Amino acid sequence: MAERVGVYICHCGSNIAGKVDVEDVSQWAGEELDNVVISRDYEFMCSSLGQELIEDDIKNEGLTRVVVGACSPHLHERTFRKACSNAGLNPYLCQMASLREQVSWVTEDEALATAKSKAMISGAVERVQLHEELEPTEVPVNPHSLVVGGGIAGIQTALELANSGNPVILVEREPSIGGHMAQFDKTFPTLDCSACILTPNMSDVSSHPNITLLSYSEVEEVTGFVGNFHVRIRKKARYVIEEDCTGCGICIEKCPKSVIDEVFEAGIGYRKSIYRPFPQAVPKYPVLDAETCIYFEKGTCKACEKFCPTNAIDFEQKDTFIDIDVGNIILATGYDTFDSRKIPQYGYGRLANVFTSLEFERLCNAAGPTNGHIVLRDGVTTPKSVAIIHCVGSRDTRFNAHCSAVCCMSALKFGHLVIEKTGAEVHSFYTDMRPSFKDYEEFYNRLLEEGMHFTRGRVAEVTEAALQPGEEGKLIIQVEDTLIGRQRRIPVDMVILMTALEPKPDAREVGLKFGISCSMAGWFTERHPKLDPVATMTDGIFIAGACQGPKDIPASVSQGAAAAARVLGMIMKGAVEIEPIVATIHEERCSGCRICNTLCPFNAIDYLEDKMVSVINQALCKGCGTCVAACPAQAITGAHYSNEQIFAEIEGLLFDVVQGNGAKPVVEEPEAVPA
Partner 1 sequence: MADERFEPKIIAFLCNWCSYRAADLAGTARIKYEPNIRMLRVMCSGRVDPSFVLKAFALGADGVMIAGCHPGECHYLEQNYKTMRRFSMLKHTLQAMGMEDDRVRLQWASAAEGVLLAGAINEMIEQVRALGPLDWPKNWSENGNIEEAIEQLVEEHAEAMEVPV
Ligand X SMILES: Cc1cc2nc3c(=O)[nH]c(=O)nc-3n(C[C@H](O)[C@H](O)[C@H](O)COP(=O)(O)OP(=O)(O)OC[C@H]3O[C@@H](n4cnc5c(N)ncnc54)[C@H](O)[C@@H]3O)c2cc1C
Q: What span, in angstroms and rounded, lies between the C-alpha atoms of 578 and 138?
A: 6
Give whichever of 342 and 594 is closer to ligand SF4, judged by the CB atom: 594
- Residues 547-586 interacting with ligand SF4 (rule: CB under 6 A): 582-583, 585
Q: How far is the CB of 42 from partner 1 (least distance, A)?
A: 20
Binding part of the chain for ligand X, among 203-211, 238-246, 405-413, 417-425 by CB under 6 A, reads: 405-413
Q: How far is the CB of 659 from partner 1 (least distance, A)?
A: 10
Cβ contacts of 378 within 8 Å, gap of 6 or more: 352
355 binds, among partner 1, ligand SF4, ligand X, none (CB under 5 to 8 A by kind): none
Give whichever of 26 and 337 is closer to ligand X, judged by the CB atom: 337
- How many C-beta neighbours within 10 Å does residue 561 have? 18
Q: How far is the CB of 512 from partner 1 (least distance, A)?
A: 7
- Residues 524-583 interacting with partner 1 (rule: CB under 8 A): 525, 537, 581
Q: How far is the CB of 458 from ligand X (least distance, A)?
A: 19
Give whichever of 227 and 457 is closer to ligand SF4, judged by the CB atom: 227
Give alpha helix (H) positions in 208-282: 250-254
Q: What span, in angstroms and rounded, lies between the C-alpha atoms of 32 and 27?
A: 8
From the list 100, 143, 88, the residue with the least C-alpha distance to 14 is 100
Q: How far is the CB of 68 from ligand X (least distance, A)?
A: 43
Q: How far is the CB of 44 from ligand SF4 (least distance, A)?
A: 36
561 binds, among ligand SF4, partner 1, ligand X, none (CB under 5 to 8 A by kind): none
605 binds, among ligand X, partner 1, ligand SF4, none (CB under 5 to 8 A by kind): ligand SF4
Q: What span, in angstroms and rounded, lies between the C-alpha atoms of 554 and 153?
A: 9
**Contact by Cβ (8 Å): 161, 146:** no
**Contact by Cβ (8 Å): 516, 525:** yes
**Using rule CB under 6 A, residue 171 touches ligand X:** yes
Among 119, 595, 646, 654, binds ligand SF4 (CB under 6 A): 595
Query: CA separation (Å) from 479 to 389, 418, 487, 488?
Result: 10, 22, 6, 5
488-527 mask for partner 1 (x: CB under 8 A)? ------------------------x--x-xxxx----x--
The shares of helix, strand and coil residues in the chain, as percent rounded to the nearest 5, are: 30, 25, 45
344 binds, among ligand SF4, ligand X, partner 1, none (CB under 5 to 8 A by kind): none
CB contact burial 495-518 (16+ within 10 A = b; e otherwise): bbbbbbbbbbeebeebbebbbbeb
- Residues 306-365 interacting with ligand X (rule: CB under 6 A): 332-335, 337, 357-358, 361
- Residues 249-268 interacting with ligand SF4 (rule: CB under 6 A): none
Q: What span, in angstroms and rounded, lies between the C-alpha atoms of 341 and 349?
A: 7
Instruction: Report the run of H or E that residue 7 belongs to, with start and end.
Output: strand 5-10
From the list 393, 376, 369, 150, the residue with the least C-alpha distance to 266 is 369
**Contact by Cβ (8 Å): 327, 570:** yes
**Contact by Cβ (8 Å): 364, 575:** no
**Using rule CB under 6 A, residue 640 touches ligand SF4:** no
Binding part of the chain for partner 1, among 24-32, 321-329, 494-502, 665-673 by CB under 8 A, reads: 665-673
**Using rule CB under 6 A, residue 524 touches ligand X:** no
* Strand residues in 422-569 grouped as ranges (E): 425-430, 453-456, 459-463, 475-481, 486-492, 494-499, 501-503, 541-543
Q: How far is the CB of 407 from ligand X (least distance, A)?
A: 7
Q: Is 43 left (phi over 0), alpha (psi -120 to 50) or beta?
A: alpha
Distance of CA 52 to the CA centre of its chain: 40
Q: Name the site residues for ligand SF4 (rule: CB under 6 A).
A: 582-583, 585, 590-596, 599-600, 602, 604-605, 613-614, 616, 621-627, 631, 633, 635-636
- Binding-site ranges for partner 1 (CB under 8 A): 72-74, 98, 100-103, 105-109, 112-113, 115-116, 119-120, 123, 512, 515, 517-520, 525, 537, 581, 593, 595, 598-599, 601-602, 622-626, 628-630, 632, 638, 641, 643, 646-647, 649-651, 653-654, 656-658, 663-667
